[in-house]
Amino acid sequence: MARRDLLDEKLTYCVIGGFFEVYRNLRYGLLEHLYVAALERELRARGHRVGREVWVPVMYKGEEIGVQRLDMLVDDRVVVEVKSTRELHRSAARQLHCYLSATKLETGLLLHFGLEPRFCRLVCSNSGAPQRGARS
């Protein structure tokens, strides 16, 4: 494996490209579920497997204590969290980190359909704090 911050690089590059394509067509102002639906169509058209509203178990000391819903899971590798608020709340990246920890996946994208399109790429080793990747 190359550098840790390049984990799933090709896949995240494609998802980010799909994000900008959806934003270019829909712009700012819609509800989150509409952006997620458009992004799902865009990613499927690009040949990816997309799971929406995927429920994953949350474990505590080896026992399931509940479930958590992910906005999107792409190719069973990348967790995608979508926000469509005017301003992105500081807790959004932490929320994505928690999702990565719950799934034991390592790569996540936070896609913000705000006044300006923004994304944050997180890589989580599931053994400590998240490692931030590219930000726009």
Q: Per residue in 30-49, pLDDT tens?
A: 999 999 999 999 999 999 99
Answer yes or no: pTM beyond 0.75: yes
Q: What is the CATH architecture of 7-135?
A: 3-Layer(aba) Sandwich (3.40)
Segments making up each domain of the chain, as ranges: 7-135
pLDDT in tens, 63-81: 999 998 999 999 999 999 9
The distance of Cα 129 from the centroid of its chain, to the nearest Å, equals 17
Structure-token match 């509940």, residue found: 66
